[in-house]
Structure 1
Amino acid sequence: MAESSEEPKVSLRLFIDEEKNKVVLAEASKAFVDVLFSLLTLPMGTIIRLLEEHRESQPITVGCFSNLYRSVAEMGIDNFKTDVCKHILLHPRSVRDLQYKRLMLNINPTEVKLFKCPISCNFYSHFSTSRCQCGSSMNKEFQEPRVVPVASSIQNDVNGVFIITDDLKVAVRSTDVVLNELKSLGSGDISKLREMLVYIGFEEVLTLLECMFSSKAPLTNTFLNKQTFQGQGVTKVYETLSPCMETNGDTFLTLDVIVRKQDMEILYVECGEDFVDLLFTFLAVPLEYVVGISGNSCSFVCIRNLIRSFKDLNAAEVSTSKSAIHHFYTCQKQLLNIITDQPPLYHRYNYYSLKECSGSTPLILIDPEGSGFVKRETKFTVSDDLIVTAMNSSSPICLLQKFQIHADDLEVQQISTSKTEATSLLRASLVTSSALKTSLRNLILKNPEEEI
């Protein structure tokens, strides 16, 4: 992201242990803390896009989410229901878009345009390529009604300066908090701490976001060890997940799984559009929810610290049980504990009095067209690390050749998944590069021929 002379900056005061070359503490204003907390609410697809733009020279890897995002980017437009479906997956909308607008540093500015039918039907769209229910192109742009500013992510009675630790614990500044942190880090000799004032713009926020995934000391690695992360991606992690606590035994989706007989490992699945739509909705799920259900993964300690701090400061809404995604991302098969927000109803107002016109009918959103993103009756393959490919563009023989396995060593099993497995798949997508194997292995029938 290119910097400009008019780019807004937020100050941050660092206290550094020079012997250890480590940030011990930082003092921050409410403006910076709001920006920090806003990172938790970004959709996963937005995070992947921002990090890839930030490190153009080398792809960024965040579990399997990077593969999901690139699958959308590389898939032909003819495999999607409309060009809008591909666009909203590559540029995921958040239910917090209005909150981002009031931030001093908004790393994901979203321009919202509204279009309506030129013959005065009561429908509107976010895209000029949409068609009204009457058949007309919805190409008449109109201005979104003025929105009341959204409150800060921190309650209004929490003001002043905040203390931020190197592993992203946030608390209101107090002597007690400072002393406890200095003692716990073995930095009790305050005279040896050096003070440094830094000014943070878009580039620094993106580097900090990257370090949240790849480091247990993101402040130190962002501001002191800048060279450490130059040209590096976010490391893939391989972890065994604890069992998902949520249970739902109802059949959710049926998949054909290609299995290697030798060790009964999943190589890939063949599936229809519902499973791919489900995977693509993962890109719209906010970071706070994905990390919240990922268990006690040691890879995301700093992000979990930030979530806990957000809750401790009585922030607006951070939920570990339910989370909302934008109404664009409605699908036939929804995840457990994921809800979609309701689209706003716009009323017609008198231009001069700014009063609602008497008897006016609210404008109703018609985006997206139906539910889901890819065309119906389409077959796909999904690899263990969630690379999605339309079968009309890739032969199964070419795919099998990559594994260099004899046909006699492979078999196809049909499995029935529940919403519990779907939630486990989302968890695995963040913390491992083998999402299918990690989340579906318990459904594979071991040596079925011997059990007949």
Structure 2
Amino acid sequence: MAQSFKEPKVSLRLIVDEEKNKVVLAEAGNDFVDVLFSFLMLPIGTIVRLLENHRKSETVTVGCFSNLYKSVVDMDMDNFETAACKEMLLYPRGLKDELWKRFKININPTVGVNKFYTCPNFASCNMCSNFSSSKCKCGRLMNKEILIPEADKVADNMKNDVDGVFIRGRYSFIITDDLKVSVDSTGLVLKTLGSLGYADVSKLGERLLDIGLGEVLTLLECIFSSNTPLTDTFLKKQRLHDVSQISKQLSPRVKEKDEAVLLSLDVIVKKEDMKVLYVECCEDFVDLLFTFLAVPLESIWDFTGNNITLGCIGNLHRSLSDLSVIKKTRVSSFSCTLPCYYRCRKQFPMITTQEPRVYYRFSNSNVRHSYCLTTKHTTRRMTFVDPKSDYCDRSKDGKGFVKRGTKFIVSDDLIVTPKISSSTFSMLKKFQILTDDLEVQAITISNAEALNLLTASLVTSSALSSAFGNLIVKKPKEETVSWNPVSKKPKVET
């Protein structure tokens, strides 16, 4: 008889104020804390996908990223350079994807991690790709997986039975309701309970829970919008509120002297309040926006510093940094490195792409007419196909996700549509504004505005107005002169 699948669970002990139905503290081991910190590894596009799948019929809003992700979903394949372009945006990949296999509850079972594909004519073409939807130079689909021996894969040297993913050794942790994580100790528990006004512990109850995937995804929702995510997840079972409702006003990053221009845009603004309605742009600006979907939450938080307040993400991020004595080595902050195939012509400088590893092929004697890839030098070096172009591309700038020579319209809340399928007349009619009340301004954006846009996309529902508002020229109000019959002098009105 086949064994039934048993859902992985992790243990969590809650210390509860029963009268207020509130979590005071939680006690957990490595397994739960690793899952908690794994939220920071998630690309923002993956977070949107996971939450939408979790809630199914309900709409989950994460700033403007929900609209940006939906734009990729809704856009016809004809508007992308290749099928792989759409795939890598809907299912973003990262350099740490192999780590997901090590979490007891894996919320991101990434498809195609560290997989390589070739065409059936591999022996003569000698080309491969990370995507099975890529096409070889011979025109065939590269849908045949080619193996890489375990010895050639990037291994986690710290892996053993004692360590977790983020924490070395076996520890017990205490977690406050607002997700401040610390190593458990009697002194810290006494101090925390005292600061919360719970000197008499007899009034507190305990609940031992086994947490599964459903509860973890609900907790992921709550870290964006709630200051008490443990209470909301496990006691009140509340759903996520719109992120934009709880964000504070952004302070735009100031442009530095001689900062390079990234892109030029035509901005359509409303004269009354100079609010951005939408922009008309080329494909490079859309590539920049779509790249944001692959950026991990941790990197976005590093970029913004303390400029925003958003749920309990800041506490979670600081807790991981504060556990420096027992944590493993992490990638340096203030930069984000994505796999090489995310490289685009116009790249946000803080987002870099990995240099592709060099692989060679060798004949696998265990399987007839079969080859494997290795990092050890052999006679045949492999040629990798850029999945965004379906042919060998040696350009350092890289190709883009969307078709070249295409114009796009991007709304203030980051709904992206090709201009060919969204006419100017339709856009004007949608806003129900007189043409005399609209104005077109040409602006140029640099690194500062790109960073403002990335930040605003996470915490507001009007990303373009928030990011580019300081670039919009405020025209002085027109003055009219009339005659005042009482004073018999001209009267100036604005």
Alignment length (residue pairs): 444
> Which TM-score applies when normalising by structure 2?
0.84
Q: Does 1:294 align with 2:312?
A: no
Residue matched to 1:216: 227
1:196-275 to structure 2, matched below 5 A, reads 196-226=207-237, 228-229=238-239, 233-237=241-245, 239-244=248-253, 247=256, 249-275=259-285
Q: Does 1:35 align with 2:35?
A: yes
Letter in 1 for 2:431: F
Asked if structure 2 preserves the Cα contact closer than 8 Å seen for 1:17 and 1:187, the reply is no
- Deviations along 1:76-121, one digit per CA (max 9) or x if unpaired, are 1111111111111111112210111111111110232421242324
Please point out which of 176, 201, 217 is paired with 2:187. Answer: 176
Q: Does 1:400 align with 2:403?
A: no
Please point out which of 425, 431, 434 is paired with 2:453. Answer: 425
Q: Tell me how far 1:292 sits from its aligned partner.
A: 2.9
Q: Tell me how far 1:449 sits from its aligned partner.
A: 9.5
Asked if structure 2 preserves the Cα contact closer than 8 Å seen for 1:154 and 1:313, the reply is no
Asked if structure 2 preserves the Cα contact closer than 8 Å seen for 1:214 and 1:299, the reply is no
Letter in 2 for 1:258: I
Asked if structure 2 preserves the Cα contact closer than 8 Å seen for 1:61 and 1:233, the reply is yes
C-alpha distance in 2, partners of 1:427/1:358? 44
Residue matched to 2:482: none
1:117-136 to structure 2, matched below 5 A, reads 117=119, 118-120=121-123, 121-136=125-140
Secondary structure of the equivalent of 1:385?
A: coil
Please point out which of 152, 170, 177 is paired with 1:159. Answer: 170
Secondary structure of the equivalent of 2:474?
A: coil
Deviates more, 1:305-314 or 1:240-249: 240-249
Asked if structure 2 preserves the Cα contact closer than 8 Å seen for 1:115 and 1:141, the reply is yes
Q: Does 1:367 align with 2:386?
A: yes
Secondary structure of the equivalent of 1:293?
A: helix
Letter in 2 for 1:416: T
Residue matched to 1:344: 357
Letter in 1 for 2:166: I
C-alpha distance in 2, partners of 1:358/1:282? 36
- Structure 2's unaligned 5+ residue stretches are 159-163, 367-371, 390-397, 479-494
Letter in 2 for 1:234: D
Letter in 2 for 1:359: T
Percent of paired sites with the same residue: 54
User: What's the RMSD between the two structures over aligned residues?
Assistant: 2.4
Residue matched to 2:369: none
> Which TM-score applies when normalising by structure 1?
0.92
Asked if structure 2 preserves the Cα contact closer than 8 Å seen for 1:242 and 1:295, the reply is no
- Structure 1's unaligned 5+ residue stretches are none
1:60-99 to structure 2, matched below 5 A, reads 60-99=60-99
Asked if structure 1 preserves the Cα contact closer than 8 Å seen for 2:456 and 2:466, the reply is yes
Letter in 1 for 2:295: V
Q: Does 1:380 align with 2:408?
A: yes
Q: Tell me how far 1:41 sits from its aligned partner.
A: 0.9
Q: Tell me how far 1:392 sits from its aligned partner.
A: 0.8
Residue matched to 2:11: 11
Letter in 2 for 1:34: D
Secondary structure of the equivalent of 2:410?
A: strand
C-alpha distance in 2, partners of 1:106/1:322? 25
Secondary structure of the equivalent of 1:252?
A: strand
426 and 441 in structure 1: CA distance in 2 versus 1, 3 angstrom threshold? same
Q: Tell me how far 1:318 sits from its aligned partner.
A: 5.7
C-alpha distance in 1, partners of 2:271/2:459? 26
Residue matched to 2:44: 44
Secondary structure of the equivalent of 2:111?
A: coil
Secondary structure of the equivalent of 1:141?
A: strand
C-alpha distance in 2, partners of 1:177/1:246? 43
Residue matched to 2:491: none
169 and 358 in structure 1: CA distance in 2 versus 1, 3 angstrom threshold? closer
Q: Tell me how far 1:298 sits from its aligned partner.
A: 6.2
Secondary structure of the equivalent of 1:223?
A: helix
Q: Tell me how far 1:6 sits from its aligned partner.
A: 1.3
Q: Does 1:304 align with 2:323?
A: no
Secondary structure of the equivalent of 2:222?
A: helix
- Deviations along 1:181-233, one digit per CA (max 9) or x if unpaired, are 1111111211122111111111111000000011111111111111x32xx54
Q: Tell me how far 1:249 sits from its aligned partner.
A: 2.1
Secondary structure of the equivalent of 1:392?
A: helix
Letter in 2 for 1:385: D
Residue matched to 2:484: none
C-alpha distance in 2, partners of 1:393/1:240? 34
C-alpha distance in 2, partners of 1:349/1:16? 60
Secondary structure of the equivalent of 2:19?
A: coil
Secondary structure of the equivalent of 1:115?
A: strand
C-alpha distance in 2, partners of 1:331/1:162? 42
Q: Which has the greater radius of gyration?
A: 2
136 and 57 in structure 1: CA distance in 2 versus 1, 3 angstrom threshold? closer
C-alpha distance in 2, partners of 1:303/1:358? 44
C-alpha distance in 2, partners of 1:357/1:311? 36
